């Protein structure tokens, strides 16, 4: 869902950027062991700083940020066209921002080496569909690294956000076929940092149908 004006104001604020650069990016983007020339996806790219940070931490051939809100996409394009001082040395020529729904990505299967997301799933009612779509577009062995708000184990909305619980998120990732490498909860805030890898499902004899991992022996209904 699109954000309210107040949320957009916050997402574009120096305070948000400060937290994203200082605390979230190191968790989400460092020590990933991803080789140079990687092709990366950012889900819900918002104001555009995430794509710059991906380029700062990784040696990317291409970074594609998607967002459902055309206003955010236009803002992100403007943001990287005149990068702030902290980002002046970061590449921008390999970044594309595309307006699309993360639950219906236009990219082919197995296209990306890695996918990232900073606090987006709680804005999407169909968040499980996004988890499955990212799985579909990742290469086997590809990394999905993200930070997310976990507001609780239910489908109730809180403050207009989708409530996602730790068990639900773990289940959604594993059902689709990821191996969870790490799942860290922050001490005082309902936020998690997750790293999940697209399993080599073929070695287990499974298949992927419509982005969903079908375990060996499990029928498609
Ligand atoms: C809280 S903002 C986070 C923006 C940015 N990642 C950040 O950390 O500042 C959530 C973003 O997700 C986008 N979004 C919401 N639903 C989406 C969907 N279905 N597909 C793609 N983007 C979506 C919103 O437009 C918004 O830019």
- Give SS3 for 97: strand
> Which amino acids bring their CB within 6 angstroms of ligand 1?
1-3, 11, 16, 20, 44-47, 50, 66-69, 72, 101-103, 118-120, 123-124
Q: Atom 13 (ligand 1): residue with closest C-alpha? A: 44
> 106: alpha, beta or left, given left = phi > 0 and alpha = psi -120 to 50?
alpha
Best probe residue, ligand 1, of 120, 127, 145, 193 (max atoms within 8 Å of C-beta): 120
pLDDT at position 74: 97
Tracing tokens 């804005």 back to the chain, one arrives at 123
* pLDDT tens readout for residues 138-155: 999 999 999 998 877 655
What is the CA angle 13-4-1, rounded to 5?
Answer: 115
What is the CA angle 189-53-137, rounded to 5?
Answer: 90
Q: With bands split at pLDDT 50, 70 and 90, how would you rate the model's confidence at 12? A: confident
Can you list the pairs that 33-40 forms with residues at least 24 positions away whose Cβ atoms lie under 8 Å? 34/58, 34/113, 34/114, 34/143, 35/59, 35/113, 37/61, 38/113, 38/114, 39/64, 39/111, 39/112, 39/113, 40/64, 40/112, 40/113, 40/114, 40/115, 40/116
pTM of the model: 0.88
* pLDDT tens readout for residues 74-125: 999 999 999 999 999 999 999 999 999 999 999 999 999 999 999 999 999 9
pLDDT at position 69: 96
C-alpha of residue 129 to centroid of ligand 1, in Å = 15
pLDDT at position 211: 46
The number of angstroms, rounded, from the C-alpha of 99 to the middle of its chain's C-alpha atoms is: 15
- How many residues make up the chain in this entry? 221
Atom of ligand 1 minimally distant from the CA of 102: 20
Residue 80 near residue 102 (C-beta atoms within 8 A): no
- Residue 141 CA to residue 148 CA, distance in Å, equals 22
- Counting residues of the chain whose pLDDT is more than 70, the rounded percentage is 86
Q: Atom 5 (ligand 1): residue with closest C-alpha? A: 46
- Residue 72 CA to residue 45 CA, distance in Å, equals 8
Q: With bands split at pLDDT 50, 70 and 90, how would you rate the model's confidence at 221? A: very low
Residue 180 near residue 195 (C-beta atoms within 8 A): yes
- Residue 59 CA to residue 24 CA, distance in Å, equals 19
Q: Atom 15 (ligand 1): residue with closest C-alpha? A: 1
Going along the chain from its start, the domains and CATH numbers come out as 5-214 (3.40.50.150)
- Residue 116 CA to residue 125 CA, distance in Å, equals 19
């Amino acid at each position: 869902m699109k954000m309210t004006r107040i949320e957009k104001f916050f997402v574009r604020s120096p305070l948000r950027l400060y937290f994203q650069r200082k605390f979230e990016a190191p968790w989400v983007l460092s020590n990933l062991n991803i080789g140079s020339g990687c092709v990366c996806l950012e889900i819900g790219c918002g104001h555009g700083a995430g794509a710059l940070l991906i380029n700062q931490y990784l040696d990317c051939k291409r970074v594609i940020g998607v967002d459902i809100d055309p206003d955010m996409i236009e803002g992100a394009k403007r943001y990287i066209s005149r990068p702030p001082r902290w980002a002046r040395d970061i590449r921008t020529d390999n970044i594309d921002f595309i307006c699309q729904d993360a639950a219906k990505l236009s990219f082919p299967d197995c296209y990306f080496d890695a996918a990232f997301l900073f606090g987006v799933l709680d804005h999407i009612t169909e968040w499980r569909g996004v988890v499955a779509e990212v799985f579909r577009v990742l290469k086997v062995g590809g990394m999905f690294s993200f930070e997310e708000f976990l507001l609780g184990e239910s489908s109730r909305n809180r403050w207009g956000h989708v409530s996602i619980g730790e068990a639900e998120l773990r289940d959604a990732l594993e059902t689709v076929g990821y191996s969870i490498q790490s799942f860290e909860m922050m001490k005082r805030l309902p936020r998690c940092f997750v790293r999940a890898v697209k399993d080599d499902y073929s070695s287990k004899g499974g298949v992927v149908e419509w982005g969903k991992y079908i375990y060996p022996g499990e029928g498609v209904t």
